Amino acid sequence: MAYLIREAILNDNEIPSTVACTTKITASSIRLDWDEIYKTEYINYDVKYRVDGTMDFERLETKQKFIEINELKSDTLYNVCIFGVNFEGDSSPIVRGNLKTDKSNFSYLKGNSKLIKHGKIGLYQLEPAHVDSDKEGCLRTCYMIAKDTPSHQRSTIKTLLVLGATGAGKSTFIDALFNYVTGVSMTDEIRYSIINKNREEKEREYRQCDSQTRSVVEYILPKMDGLRIDFPLNIIDTPEFNDTTEDFDKTIFEKIQDLLNGK
C-alpha cells in the first residue's frame, strides 16, 4: 500500500531502559515494535492508548512484540503505554510515551468541498477537479483530486463497475470507498461524498423519484502518494436497469460499453 510512513523512537525517562521501541506513523495508524534488551518472562503484552487530554484508554492485547493501532484520528496526539504481563498475571510498564499521528495528505480536500450535512461527523460534498460530459448528458467523467491521469499510469488502471437496484446502496458504497482510499479514518470527524448529480438528477431527488441516477458517471482517482492504493482507479456508477423510458436501458448499456472500451 502507498502509505507515507514516519519513523520515531518511543521512550520515557521514568521507565528503565530495558526495552527498545520504534514506531511507524501514518495519518490513521501507529505501529509499535519493541524488543527487551534483557531476558524477561512476559507471556503477553497489554497496549493502552488514548487521545491526549481524555480520560479513557482503549486496550489491545498481543503475544507478539509488535502491534498496529488503526483507525486513529489524523494530526492528533495520543498517549501510548505498553505493559508486559508475566505468567502470574502481574503487569509492568515497559514503554510509555506520546505520539502524534500525521496530518492527512488530503486534508486540503476540505477546502474544495461544501458542508452538506451537519452533525458529530460532518459530510462534505467534494467537487471534481474536472468534469467531461457527452452531448446527450448520459455520460459524465469526474476527475477526482487531479485533473487527469498521467499517460504512464493508464496501463495500470483498474476499473470497478457498480451495479444495483435503486436503494441497494451504490452511492454509499462509492463514497465509503473514496473515504477509505484517501485515508479518512473511522474516528475522523469528517466524511466526503463524491456523488455527482446533474440538474435533472437533483430534481428527481427533490421529488423523491424511484431512480435518481440517470447518467453513467465515471469517477477517476489517480495514483498518488498517500492513497491506500498503488494504482489508478476508475469507479463507474450506473442507473438502475429496467427503466420504463423507451430505449433507456439500451442507451445506458452502450455508454458502459464505450467506457470499458476506452472510447
| pLDDT tens series, the chain, 263 aa | 333 444 444 555 555 556 788 899 988 899 999 987 777 788 999 999 999 999 999 999 999 999 999 999 989 999 999 999 999 989 989 888 999 999 887 888 888 899 999 989 999 999 999 998 887 767 889 999 887 766 666 668 899 999 887 788 899 999 999 999 998 888 888 999 999 887 776 666 656 655 555 688 999 998 888 888 889 999 999 886 655 555 666 777 777 777 777 65
State residue 154's pLDDT score.
67
CB 13 within 8 A of CB 44: no
Residue 138 has what pLDDT? Answer: 77
Q: How many CB atoms lie within 10 A of CB 140?
A: 20
pLDDT of 85:
93
How would DSSP label each residue in 165-189? -TTS-HHHHHHHHHHHHTT--TTSS
Strand order in the sheet with 44-51: 58-62, 44-51, 77-85, 91-100
Q: What's the pLDDT score for residue 114?
A: 93
pLDDT at 33: 94
Q: Kindly report the pTM of this predicted structure.
A: 0.73
CA contacts within 13 A on the Cβ side of 28? 21
- Report pLDDT for 4: 42
φ and ψ at residue 40, rounded to 5 degrees: -130, 170
What pLDDT was estimated at residue 245? 59
What Rg, from alpha-carbon coordinates, does the chain have?
Answer: 24
The span from the CA of 175 to the CA of 128, in Å, is 13
User: What pLDDT score does 215 carry?
Assistant: 82
